[in-house]
Amino acid sequence: MSLEHVTEQIVDELQSIYRPQGLGKLRNLKGDRLQCLRLSVSSLIADSLPLIMGRTSSHRYASIHKRSNHYTGDRYDPSQTYKIHVVTAYEGMVWLGYLQEEKIGVSLRTQGKYLTRYSATRKLLRLFGDVDVELLPVLIPSKRLEEPLIVKIKREEIDERGNRYNISEQVNYEDTAATQQMRSNLELINNNLERHWIDIGLKDSELHEVRRQLAQDTVRNDEYPETLNLGKRCLHRSFLNTEFTSGGRFYGGWWQIIPKLFRSHILIDDKRTVELDYSGLHPAFLYAQEAQQIPDDPYDVGLNLDHRDIVKRAFNAMLNAEKELKRAPQKLKIRQTGITWTELSNRLSELHRPIQHHFYTGVGNYLQFRDSQIAERIMLRFIREKAGAVVLPVHDSFIVHHGYETELHNMMIEEFQRLCGQEIILGKLTQKYMSLADRPEAGWPSLDLDELLRLSDVGCIKRFEEFKRISLT
């Protein structure tokens, strides 16, 4: 059966079995409330069932807000209410055996600290008949957000033990010509993404290992999905103020969450890809603003190159913080560098004397807005100038079909110059195709992509063929 038929069957069971027995309510939902129930059931299926893909049973969890104050009926989830989405759809599908609650969420006062995790059951899968589970991301793509232009205000909370947590709250805002244009651009970008299939040339066992690594990642924030769902292809933008001048980066695509080492295996319409990035984009913004020449390597403070990522994260922390940091940010493994936080921050301040007055001003969030402007322009230009070619953004880097490498390179330089009035030298190619045999991790299969694509157990081939079939019907 199709997703629509399965949704209707579950809605009928919720109305005829669960509500009378589980809730003790005999009156069925009708009209708009019935349509909201259909949307909730459909989204719960789309968020959980494609995660069954693969041979193992772990790390297949979707997540749900179970706090009633999350469902306010505002612009973000107008079709979802707590009573329909959580009490009727989610808890009803658990009661009927179509979903299984894996881990109860944890709240901090009125805010969610960890969301509740749940998974699809084999009973739900059986409703779709004799379906190949590897095709589920194609057959059941994730739903677009009802409001793709999000504003989240961050604040710090302290629990009863004195531990500090960052909390983000979605807030309403007034639409302007600028927000309407951004929303229109997002619709154009997402429409284009849905016309293409984005996959990764890895075996199912490797995809499971990617999921396992994602489950262990404690740095990830709530903008990213918690596990790998190839059906998540649509993007949204997340801003940090209602003036739409802070944040604004694009989130939501599954390719943004996988370890960088495996991004070279991403496929667009079954074709290999290439990734280019801006080397030191935020320092370049600030040096351009001061009409100064950026250093060749803005993260070279005399440490081993193995520590460059730590230095980069330290630099960004100094830009994002609104007051001087007396100690290293949490989860920044400063001890690996062999120097103290004070010494590292002093070295960065000395290296960047022309822009050091920007440290500890919170300017980093504004710079994210600037790089999101470039990302938006590049995606739109590829749609309009390259006959709908796809660009996959990863903040300050971009993934395209390998045949568009030169065009992407030129556009990235042009868009920086248009925005900042200066030229920029791009970093070297970061993610050209890397054979699996060349990866340093032990225990990974040593097959290159060509060999993988000849194997029958690589789902990316079947998924693309199914996507083409659906697209033609």
Report pLDDT digits (tens) over 304-341. Answer: 888 988 999 999 999 999 999 999 888 888 888 889 99
Residue that is last in its domain, among 103, 134, 165: 134
110, part of any domain: yes
Same structural domain, 225 and 80: no
Same structural domain, 120 and 186: no
Q: Quick one: tokens of 247? A: 């944040």
Q: Of 237, 261, 259, 257, nearest to 248 (Cα)?
A: 237
| pLDDT of amino acid 223 | 44
List, for residues 356-368, the tens digit of each pLDDT value: 999 999 999 999 9
| pLDDT of amino acid 118 | 93
Q: Assign 113 to helix, strand or coil.
A: strand
239, part of any domain: yes
Q: What's the domain count of the chain?
A: 2
144, part of any domain: no
Contact 62, 119 (CB under 8 A): yes
Q: Which domain holds residue 115?
A: 1-134
Residue 181: exposure state from Cβ atoms within 10 A (0-12, 13-18, ≥19): exposed
Question: Beta-carbon neighbour count of residue 349 at 10 Å?
Answer: 16
Task: For the chain, give percent helix, strand, coil, nearest 5.
Answer: 45, 15, 40
pTM of the model: 0.87
345, part of any domain: no
Phi, psi of 268 (to 5 degrees): -115, 115
| pLDDT of amino acid 115 | 82
Contact 342, 308 (CB under 8 A): no
Same structural domain, 27 and 117: yes
212, part of any domain: yes
6, part of any domain: yes
Q: Quick one: tokens of 321? A: 């913080």
Q: Of 384, 314, 378, 388, nearest to 344 (Cα)?
A: 314
Same structural domain, 74 and 188: no
153, part of any domain: no
Same structural domain, 112 and 185: no
Instruction: Specify whether the backbone of 331 is left (phi greater than 0), alpha (psi in -120 to 50) or beta.
Output: left
Contact 369, 248 (CB under 8 A): yes
| pLDDT tens per residue across all 473 residues of the chain | 799 999 999 999 999 999 888 888 778 899 999 999 999 999 999 999 998 876 555 567 888 988 887 787 778 878 888 999 999 999 999 999 999 998 887 654 444 456 888 999 999 999 999 999 889 999 999 989 889 999 998 777 776 677 766 677 888 999 999 999 999 999 999 999 999 999 998 876 677 777 777 766 544 444 444 578 899 999 999 999 999 999 999 999 999 988 887 888 999 999 999 999 988 899 999 999 999 988 888 999 998 888 988 999 999 999 999 999 999 888 888 888 889 999 999 999 999 999 999 999 999 999 999 999 999 999 999 999 999 999 999 988 999 999 999 999 999 999 999 999 888 877 654 555 444 444 444 333 333 444 444 444 568 889 999 999 999 87
Question: Beta-carbon neighbour count of residue 55 at 10 Å?
Answer: 11
β-strand partners of 155: 167
Contact 391, 399 (CB under 8 A): yes
Same structural domain, 98 and 216: no
The answer for residues whose C-beta is within 8 angstroms of residue 301's C-beta and 6 or more apart is: 311, 344, 347, 348, 351
Same structural domain, 260 and 360: yes
Same structural domain, 124 and 177: no
Same structural domain, 288 and 403: yes
Same structural domain, 234 and 365: yes
Same structural domain, 76 and 179: no
Same structural domain, 116 and 194: no
Residue that is last in its domain, among 110, 134, 158: 134
